[in-house]
């Protein structure tokens, strides 16, 4: 079973907002995610940002006029978001709540036009937990509503644990390395670093959402072939060339081999 306390403790010290703004890999992830959102979001919507940390996407979308409801497991991050709401006097952030993604009872049926799920599927180890999460997402979404769900594909996640062993051998041994390649589940041996993770294939993600009456719009890689080339990309001096490369990353992002091996990926679906 997922240890939610370990997740809370990890994100109480890990700066997710900074990862998406100052780290080159996070910056490319953020820029490409915003491209996808701007492409598929309706002109106006009530959006639940579930697992949205301190609001890395909540606040930019609120500034575009969307009615944002932020939810996260971490009380620390939600408190930071509330402070930012007050500092910015952001009227389009309607609420900031501490919420577990497998229990959305504070929200009504058919309340939202869109749900962003940019974190929970990284962590939910058990099939029953993932089913409950997507069942709840379906419940709070209106018919025809959209879900944007990020995940770390099996090959990317599993191979990354080998890299983790090389950098932090105290976190990985033969047992948990074998387990992640066998089941997609990773449990850290140490108290430092990313604590628990689940790495599904894109087919497994599509099947998960299909069980809860979602129709796939797309599954794509977020960073695409820019994966692990992010710093070089952001140092390209020719802005026209930089924009062309981002366009090509987006254009090739649904190639299955790229989805499975190039870091974070995203499922976009519509509730039937």
Q: Are residues 118 and 150 in contact, defined by beta-carbon separation less than 8 angstroms?
A: yes
CA distance 120 to 82: 21
120 closest CA partner among 202, 60, 197:
197
Domains of the chain, by residue range, sit at 4-153+200-271, 154-198
Position 5 scores a pLDDT of 73
Q: 111 in the Ramachandran plot: left (φ > 0), alpha (ψ -120 to 50) or beta?
A: alpha
**pLDDT value at 14 more than 80:** no
Q: Are residues 51 and 73 in contact, defined by beta-carbon separation less than 8 angstroms?
A: yes
Least confident of 9-18, 162-171, 202-211, 213-222: 9-18
204-256 pLDDT per residue, tens: 999 999 999 999 999 999 999 999 999 999 999 999 999 999 999 999 999 99
114 closest CA partner among 145, 83, 85:
145
64-122 pLDDT per residue, tens: 999 999 999 999 999 999 999 999 999 999 999 999 999 999 999 999 999 999 999 99
Position 27 scores a pLDDT of 94
Q: Are residues 101 and 73 in contact, defined by beta-carbon separation less than 8 angstroms?
A: yes
Strands, sheet with 265-271, edge to edge from the N-terminal-most edge strand? 93-98, 67-72, 46-50, 112-117, 141-151, 265-271, 214-221
Q: What are phi and psi of 87, to 5 degrees?
A: -65, -40
Q: Residue-wise over 112-139: b if at least 16 C-beta within 10 A, else e?
A: bbbbbbbbbbbbbbeeebbebbbebbbb
CATH 3.40.50.150 applies to domain 4-153+200-271:
yes
């Amino acid at each position: 079973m997922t240890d939610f306390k370990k997740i809370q403790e990890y994100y109480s010290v890990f700066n997710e907002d900074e990862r998406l703004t100052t780290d080159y890999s996070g910056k490319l992830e953020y820029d490409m995610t915003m491209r996808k959102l701007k492409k598929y979001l309706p002109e106006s919507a009530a959006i639940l940002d579930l697992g949205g940390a301190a609001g890395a996407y909540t606040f930019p979308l609120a500034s575009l006029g969307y009615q944002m409801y932020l939810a996260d497991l971490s009380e620390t991050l939600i408190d930071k978001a509330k402070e930012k709401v007050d500092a910015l006097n952001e009227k389009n952030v309607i609420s900031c709540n501490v919420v577990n993604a497998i229990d959305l009872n504070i929200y009504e049926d058919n309340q939202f036009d869109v749900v962003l799920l940019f974190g929970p599927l990284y962590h939910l180890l058990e099939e029953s937990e993932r089913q409950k999460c997507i069942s709840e997402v379906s419940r709070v979404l209106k018919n025809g509503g959209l879900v944007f769900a990020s995940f770390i594909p099996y090959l990317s996640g599993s191979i990354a644990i080998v890299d983790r062993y090389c950098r932090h051998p105290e976190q990985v041994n033969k047992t948990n390395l074998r387990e992640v390649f066998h089941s997609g589940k990773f449990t850290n041996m140490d108290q430092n670093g990313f604590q628990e993770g689940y790495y599904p294939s894109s087919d497994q993600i599509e099947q998960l959402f299909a069980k809860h009456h979602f129709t796939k719009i797309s599954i794509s890689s977020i960073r695409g072939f820019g994966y692990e080339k992010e710093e070089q990309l952001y140092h390209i001096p020719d802005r026209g060339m930089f924009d062309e490369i981002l366009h090509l990353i987006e254009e090739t992002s649904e190639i299955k081999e790229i989805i499975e091996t190039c870091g974070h990926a995203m499922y976009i679906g519509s509730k039937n």
